[in-house]
């Protein structure tokens, strides 16, 4: 299933003018606040009318300004999940779930949704007695019960603390695998994007600056205008061992990577997001340092920022890495395509939420 979006909307001081395709899986709209992400979600859901354009899903036209087509929200079969769960406070969890069923008989069995989301013990409670993470799980369940052809998630984790985010992320990962429901997901958090996205649409000032697989988009220095910590690398790694000192050893192509212990078993394949700001460069092999991850690398590109920073794109062991350095350091090290360096990463720099 593919969602095709082409729309123009005037928003305050700028015009949103985008075109992209969201294939099966999780497509993340990624960018700073005010880039137009939520406006796109609202347009796809039928909650806002674009000034022009065309939106189709599975070949069905949802909106076409030239043809005068604008399906109402309730006919689009889109499940919406927002920052606040928006559950009915006077209904129990079970009653909130069944409310979703009123809109469609095509949804999955209630027992299947309850089991996948782990909300069986919550069914008789009301939303006021739930944690933020529990409320969001129920909101996901209610949306699924309506049998949507796509879920629209507008920064569903933004209001949660890190512990609650870690609780919810695995459920979004399971939606495609277990329910087969594609997701259009809004986020401005790089680690969240790297963990969830199969496709990323990067936005800045109402325009698409890059779209494609998460590793390609986050590994492109062009995304740095999205924020100082936006750029980074996404490595697919395999767990080799868990050591007694609290570290896990992973292998990503030609790289060995030591991280604080991960929950995945030996042999599991996962994705690791490494922010460019956490990678240091050395012109010679460093000695006597505390960092455990030191890799020979070659510079393939250097992009100077408008301020004091620069982004170096590296190739190391067949993997693409980004390193954020100062312009002064880039000039002092004569960084440029073909320059051999050593990339240095402290094991503790990679946060648990950056590993999935």
User: Do the domain assignments include residue 225?
Assistant: no
Sheet harboring 293-304: ordered strands across?
280-282, 340-345, 293-304, 309-316, 319-326
Based on the domain organization, do 44 and 189 belong to the same domain?
A: yes
Q: Which of 169, 184, 218 is the last residue of a domain?
A: 218
Cα 178 to Cα 118: distance, rounded to the nearest angstrom: 14
Nearest to 155 by CA among 143, 168, 146, 142: 168
What does the pLDDT look like over 343-356, one tens digit per residue?
999 988 886 666 76
Please, what is the average pLDDT of the chain? 88
User: Do the domain assignments include residue 223?
Assistant: no
Based on the domain organization, do 187 and 65 belong to the same domain?
A: yes
Count CB neighbours of 101 within 10 A.
Answer: 16
Cα 219 to Cα 235: distance, rounded to the nearest angstrom: 10
Angle between helix 162-174 and helix 110-117 axes, rounded to 10 deg: 140
Per mean pLDDT, which range of 67-76, 147-156, 223-232, 331-340 is the poorest?
223-232
Based on the domain organization, do 25 and 167 belong to the same domain?
A: yes
pLDDT at 287 over 70: yes
Per the DSSP assignment, residues forming a β-bridge with 22 are 3
Domain count within the chain: 2
User: Do the domain assignments include residue 190?
Assistant: yes
H or E segment to which residue 39 belongs: helix 37-45
Based on the domain organization, do 197 and 246 belong to the same domain?
A: no
Q: Which of 218, 248, 263 is the last residue of a domain?
A: 218
What is the model's pLDDT at position 105? 67
List, in sequence order, every beta strand (DSSP E) within 161-292: 183-187, 199-204, 207-212, 232-242, 247-252, 255-260, 269-275, 280-282
Nearest to 150 by CA among 175, 184, 179: 184
334 against 219, higher pLDDT: 334
Q: Report helix, strand or coil for 272.
A: strand
Return the CATH number at 108: 3.40.50.300
What is the model's pLDDT at position 295? 94
Based on the domain organization, do 26 and 131 belong to the same domain?
A: yes
User: Do the domain assignments include residue 240?
Assistant: yes
What is the model's pLDDT at position 104? 67
Based on the domain organization, do 191 and 51 belong to the same domain?
A: yes
Based on the domain organization, do 119 and 22 belong to the same domain?
A: yes
Based on the domain organization, do 171 and 246 belong to the same domain?
A: no
What is the model's pLDDT at position 351? 65
What does the pLDDT look like over 257-275, one tens digit per residue?
999 998 889 999 888 888 8
What does the pLDDT look like over 47-85, one tens digit per residue?
999 999 999 998 899 999 999 999 999 899 999 998 887
At 241, the pLDDT band (50, 70, 90 cuts) reads very high
Torsions phi, psi for 210 (to 5 deg): -170, 145
Q: Which of 218, 252, 276 is the last residue of a domain?
A: 218
Q: Residues of the chain with pLDDT > 90: what percent?
A: 49
| Overall size of the chain counted in residues | 356
Average pLDDT over residues 199-228: 79
Based on the domain organization, do 178 and 246 belong to the same domain?
A: no
What is the model's pLDDT at position 159? 79
At 242, the pLDDT band (50, 70, 90 cuts) reads very high
Based on the domain organization, do 201 and 125 belong to the same domain?
A: yes
Query: Token pair 């629209």 is at which residue?
Result: 152
Based on the domain organization, do 161 and 22 belong to the same domain?
A: yes
User: Do the domain assignments include residue 260?
Assistant: yes
What does the pLDDT look like over 133-164, one tens digit per residue?
899 999 999 988 888 889 999 988 887 887 78
Return the CATH number at 242: 2.40.50.100
Per mean pLDDT, which range of 85-89, 238-242, 287-291, 351-355 is the poorest?
351-355
87 against 85, higher pLDDT: 87
Q: Residues of the chain with pLDDT > 70: what percent?
A: 93
Based on the domain organization, do 236 and 182 belong to the same domain?
A: no
- Domain of 174 in residue numbering reads as 3-218
Cα 215 to Cα 199: distance, rounded to the nearest angstrom: 9
């Amino acid at each position: 299933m593919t969602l095709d979006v082409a729309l123009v909307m005037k928003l305050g001081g700028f015009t949103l003018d985008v075109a992209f395709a969201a294939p099966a899986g999780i497509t993340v709209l990624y960018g700073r606040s005010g880039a137009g992400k939520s406006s796109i979600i609202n347009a796809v859901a039928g909650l806002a009318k674009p000034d022009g354009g065309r939106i189709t899903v599975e070949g069905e036209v949802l909106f076409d300004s030239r043809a005068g087509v604008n399906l109402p929200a309730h006919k689009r079969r889109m499940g919406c999940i927002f920052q606040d769960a928006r559950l009915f406070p006077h209904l129990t969890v079970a009653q909130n779930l069944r409310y979703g069923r009123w809109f469609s008989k095509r949804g999955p069995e209630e027992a299947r949704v309850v089991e996948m989301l782990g909300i069986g013990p919550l069914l008789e409670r009301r939303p006021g007695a739930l944690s933020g993470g529990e409320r969001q799980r129920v909101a996901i369940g209610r949306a699924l019960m309506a049998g949507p052809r796509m879920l629209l998630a507008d920064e569903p984790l933004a209001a949660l603390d890190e512990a609650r985010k870690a609780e919810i992320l695995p459920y979004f990962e399971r939606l495609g695998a277990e329910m087969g429901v594609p997701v259009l997901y809004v986020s401005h958090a790089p680690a969240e994007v790297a963990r969830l996205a199969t496709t990323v649409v990067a936005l800045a000032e109402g325009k698409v600056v890059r779209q494609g697989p998460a590793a390609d988009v986050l590994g492109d220095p062009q995304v740095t205008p999205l924020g100082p910590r936006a750029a980074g690398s996404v490595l697919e790694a395999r767990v080799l061992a868990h050591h007694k000192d609290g570290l896990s050893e992973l292998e990503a192509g030609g790289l060995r990577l030591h991280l604080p212990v991960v929950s995945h078993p030996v042999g599991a394949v996962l994705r690791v997001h490494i922010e460019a700001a956490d990678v240091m460069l050395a012109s010679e092999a460093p000695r006597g340092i505390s960092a455990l991850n030191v890799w020979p690398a070659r510079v393939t590109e250097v992009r100077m920022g408008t301020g004091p920073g620069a982004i170096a794109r590296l190739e190391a062991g067949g993997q693409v890495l980004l390193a954020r350095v100062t312009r002064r350091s880039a000039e002092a090290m004569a960084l440029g395509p073909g320059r051999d360096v050593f990339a240095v990463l402290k094991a503790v720099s990679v946060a648990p939420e950056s590993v999935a």
